[in-house]
A and B are shown apart, each in its own frame.
Chain A
Amino acid sequence: MLDLLKSVVAEAPGYAEIRYHKRLLTTVDARNGTLKRVERRILAGAGVRCLVDGSWGFVSTTDVSEGGLQRAVMEASDAARAGARLRREKARLAPARLARGEFVYQDSDGEPDIAAKIEVVLDAEKRMRAASRLVVGSIVIYTGYADEKFIVTSDGTEAHIVDRKPSFHLFATVLRGEVRETAGKGWGVTGNWCNLMKKRDLNRMVDEAVDLAVRKLDAGYAKGGRYTVILDPQLVGVLSHEAIGHTVEADFVQSGSVVKDKIGEKVASELVTLVDDGTMQGAAGMVLVDDEGVLGERTIVIDKGILRSYLHSRESAAALDAAARGNARAFTYRDEPIIRMTNTFILPGEDSLEDMIAGIDDGFFLKEMGQGGQADATAEFMFGIAEAYRIRQGKIGELVKGITISGQAFDVLKSVDAASSDFELDLGSGHCGKWQPAKVDAGGPYLRCRVTIGGRHE
């Protein structure tokens, strides 16, 4: 395949990039005592991108014969040429560390067959229903991507990339009288089935989801207001990715996000060092080589509170005189690479979680993302919380439900006065959406900070 792509790229006018991407997607979805769906999908083809006279053309096709690829290159370069008459800002490409060679991150030994996976999912769903007589809704979903890519660019990328990104999602719904509560758990990795099962114990997650849903039946609501809180690693990941991360994506910066022209300025507490790192072994957002053929690297976005860097494609790096470090990603061969995060996290500190809790007189201990959430280019955010406990006089108290947190993410990071020595990436189960999905991960230590709690009076 590599030789075929090289020979086609060699004939292209100007810059050309061909990415052959074959994806095998497996879904096993059991709910309420039935096997809802099992799907095995192959989606394969080539995405061809040409840059002619400062304008892009992108063509994707399922026809990956030599003739089909040549036709795609021709159409993409024709489209680029036609676009060049319209496009005012000419695109240029920054030099970058281009990938050459094999980038295989998977150990398919011991990967069970589909029958074994179906059995595990059905058993977990059964366990969920058996965990409590109050369970009325039980959902267990396994999703696995197995990806293989060949990327060749006219300026020297020649990479073969293989990896797997599996995940689990669980949702338990309980009903007592008229009160219905749901709790969910999700986790994901880059790796095989065994890596996924090692990241979390499936049975324990099933039990925890049911237990939380049942406890929420008796939980009350809290009074809103400004509070000191502890965010767990998953929520630190949500804040880092959703509220901070998107504002430092260079395309959003160019559109005028809140951090435009803020490089070198203090944007967070000095306890905060925030990075994006595609090389994190086993994290769900692991990207050894991005879809422009650039090698993944660690980007220090915020260094001890000072904004140091945005996240770039080769195009934005050229426009803003910066370096591209593997953040141009495409979800399938039919998508063109755009600026995305990989694994985004805050580095751990030196505090103990116990001491952090003990230092709160009146606040909340917040765990995991609940329903709903949004953030925008101003870094204003609102997130639902899955599991929230009151803290009074330094002690964890009762569970409360219906909690949201909101604020301006950089203000929240400026209020950080303690970071634990624990560290975990825990946002690998889902996808980030920005015109196209992407597998990402995020996390950090426990942080103590100030946020606005939205509650409910009942």
Chain B
Amino acid sequence: MKGPDLCEKLVRSARAKGADEVEVYYLRTRKLEAVFEKNDLQVPKGDTYEGVGVRVIRGGRQGFAATNILAGHSVEETINAALAIAAASPEDPNHVLPEPSEARPVPGIYDEKAEGLALEDALELGRRFVEAARGYDRRVTIDSASFVVQTGERAVANSKGVRLAERGSNFSCVGMGFARDGDDVSSFDVEYSGSCALADIDPEASGRRLAEKVVKSLGATTVPSFKGSAIITPYAGGELIAGPIAFSVSADSVQNGRSRWEGKLGMSVASGLLCVTDDPRIPGGVGSTSFDREGVPPEPLEIIKDGVLGHYLHNCYTARNDGVRSNGRAVGSDQTTPGIGTTNLVVAPGTVSFDDMVRRVPKGLVVNRFSGNLDPVSGDFSGVVKGGHYIENGEIAKPVKEVMIAGNIYELFAHISAVSREVVTIGDTRLPYVQLEGVSITGK
């Protein structure tokens, strides 16, 4: 027995053992991966997985246990373990399971072609990425790369009648490399592409993009320190922009007193140029889904509209705690209790082109990649800019190295001066180039 049938059977079994409410989450995956290191194949890897997570509520007390041994007594023991945890836990009225509601499928998130692929196909796709990067310029080295094909089925059922299942596929290609010209070694750079459909993956283009970036950062020099404009590229924006937004709109962060945006619903948290949507319904989107970890169907949410905070992201626990309905942002696997997360996080494009943005900057820095620390609670960040480019008088003057940037990201959100019309999709995040003013840029 598999999928939703197995979930329902275990729900009945846990009810028979005395649980008031039960939720069973099921996950089955098959993964093919080709790993390359130092321009050479390292290892082809295959994995098949199947497991369940059981959450019970009894007398307002919650217990959770999971297992990926579905044969023998392990599943029964897992139900017993969940009940034992519930018995030993304090009552908490916020532990609730959702009522059933209709989950409309999202088109394009499952490509049947993935099922027919074998490890040899992943090897071939990975080889094409590495060779395209190497073929672009002989000075390029691929330090590591991996091509992954993953397919799977997730299902959830609960004692209130939720019964849902969904299949998905994912193809991803990630490479990390640098260029060397004599003693001149460029910054490390990363290129990632991911898609639900095989046809949308172009390993050659991806390899060439990585090669182009690292070759362009050869010949980097240092610059003196200054305070000025920083154009955050989509790659750097994943950590500097998407990360802190996702953290601070999570109702879990808010309720734990860790969000800077606690009590800020309906208030301005950023420049009017910033619009952010969390959209689970993008056809073929890597983060798209018709139901969340608890079986609640999520809808698109305008998290930030013209700089004003519109929503927090909830699961059933935080929603109950706030006296609202869950907006279906429970995340997690069969091995974890539900947390909170984004689906496809989309920062809306602006009106200017990247080139025009650069043209308007008298003195600034293109932050290609950020390697450092950002504390999402305070927003303080500091770190090294990798593969950065110095802008002078509206032109990209030269690649730079040993440049650090620092500041407070929440304060800088108020100082966004431009958002590009180009948007780059990196997995489940879609980001334009974002220009920040007043960033401390420390050179030599």
Contact call B74/A42, Cβ cutoff below 8 A: yes
* Binary A-proximity of B74-95 (CB < 8 A = 1, otherwise 0): 1000100110110111101000
Q: Which residues of B contact A373 (CB under 8 A)?
A: 373
- Size of B's binding interface in residues, CB under 8 A: 53
Shortest CB-to-CB span from B125 to chain A, Å, is: 12
Contact call B119/A75, Cβ cutoff below 8 A: yes
Between A62, A114, A182, the greatest number of chain B beta carbons within 10 A of the residue's beta carbon is seen for A62
A223 to B360, CA, bound (A): 36
Contact call A371/B123, Cβ cutoff below 8 A: no
Contact call A371/B375, Cβ cutoff below 8 A: yes
Say which residue of A35, A40, A115 sits within 8 Å of B92 (CB atoms): A35
A87 to B42, CA, bound (A): 7
- The answer to whether the Cβ of A45 comes within 8 Å of any Cβ in the partner chain is yes
Q: Which residues of A contact B51 (CB under 8 A)?
A: 43, 62
- The answer to whether the Cβ of A56 comes within 8 Å of any Cβ in the partner chain is yes
* Binary A-proximity of B49-76 (CB < 8 A = 1, otherwise 0): 1110000000000111111111100100
Contact call A32/B256, Cβ cutoff below 8 A: yes
- The answer to whether the Cβ of B335 comes within 8 Å of any Cβ in the partner chain is yes
Contact call A255/B78, Cβ cutoff below 8 A: no
Q: Which residues of A contact B49 (CB under 8 A)?
A: 45, 62, 334
Say which residue of A35, A83, A89, A136 sits within 8 Å of B89 (CB atoms): A35
Instruction: Take A41-B66, A41-B67 as given contacts and tell me if A31 and B44 are in contact as well, using a CB distance cutoff of 8 Å.
Output: no
A21 to B273, CA, bound (A): 52
Instruction: Take A38-B63, A39-B65, A62-B69 as given contacts and tell me if A83 and B44 are in contact as well, using a CB distance cutoff of 8 Å.
Output: yes
Q: Which residues of B contact A89 (CB under 8 A)?
A: 40
Contact call B41/A61, Cβ cutoff below 8 A: no
- The answer to whether the Cβ of A79 comes within 8 Å of any Cβ in the partner chain is yes
- The answer to whether the Cβ of A59 comes within 8 Å of any Cβ in the partner chain is yes
Contact call A371/B40, Cβ cutoff below 8 A: no
- The chain B residue sitting closest to A76, CB to CB, is B46
- The answer to whether the Cβ of B219 comes within 8 Å of any Cβ in the partner chain is no
Contact call B335/A57, Cβ cutoff below 8 A: no
- The answer to whether the Cβ of A44 comes within 8 Å of any Cβ in the partner chain is yes
Q: Which residues of B contact A374 (CB under 8 A)?
A: 371-373, 383
- The chain B residue sitting closest to A173, CB to CB, is B257
- The answer to whether the Cβ of B408 comes within 8 Å of any Cβ in the partner chain is no
* Binary B-proximity of A234-270 (CB < 8 A = 1, otherwise 0): 0000000000000000010011000000000000000
Q: Which residues of A contact B87 (CB under 8 A)?
A: 115
Say which residue of B42, B85, B127 sits within 8 Å of A56 (CB atoms): B42
Interface residues of B in 359-388 (CB under 8 A from A): 371-373, 375, 377-378, 383
Shortest CB-to-CB span from B126 to chain A, Å, is: 9
Q: Which residues of B contact A37 (CB under 8 A)?
A: 64, 337
Say which residue of B38, B65, B90, B371 sits within 8 Å of A41 (CB atoms): B65
Q: Which residues of B contact A211 (CB under 8 A)?
A: none
- The answer to whether the Cβ of A63 comes within 8 Å of any Cβ in the partner chain is yes
Instruction: Take A82-B120, A136-B257, A137-B257 as given contacts and tell me if A61 and B47 are in contact as well, using a CB distance cutoff of 8 Å.
Output: yes
Q: Which residues of A contact B378 (CB under 8 A)?
A: 180
Contact call A254/B48, Cβ cutoff below 8 A: no
Contact call A40/B66, Cβ cutoff below 8 A: yes
Q: Which residues of A contact B377 (CB under 8 A)?
A: 182
Shortest CB-to-CB span from A404 to chain B, Å, is: 8
- The answer to whether the Cβ of B258 comes within 8 Å of any Cβ in the partner chain is yes
- The chain A residue sitting closest to B64, CB to CB, is A39
Shortest CB-to-CB span from A452 to chain B, Å, is: 13
A183 to B63, CA, bound (A): 30
A220 to B88, CA, bound (A): 44
Q: A58-B44, A82-B120 are in contact. List 7 more A-B contacts (CB 8 A).
A: A40-B78, A58-B46, A61-B48, A62-B48, A86-B127, A173-B257, A251-B37
User: A residues bordering B, Cβ < 8 Å?
Assistant: 31-32, 34-35, 37-45, 55-63, 65, 75-76, 78-80, 82-83, 86-89, 113-115, 118-119, 122, 136-137, 173, 180, 182, 251, 254-255, 334, 336, 371-374, 384
User: B residues bordering A, Cβ < 8 Å?
Assistant: 37-38, 40-51, 62-71, 74, 78, 81-82, 84-85, 87-90, 92, 119-120, 123, 127, 143, 256-258, 335-337, 371-373, 375, 377-378, 383
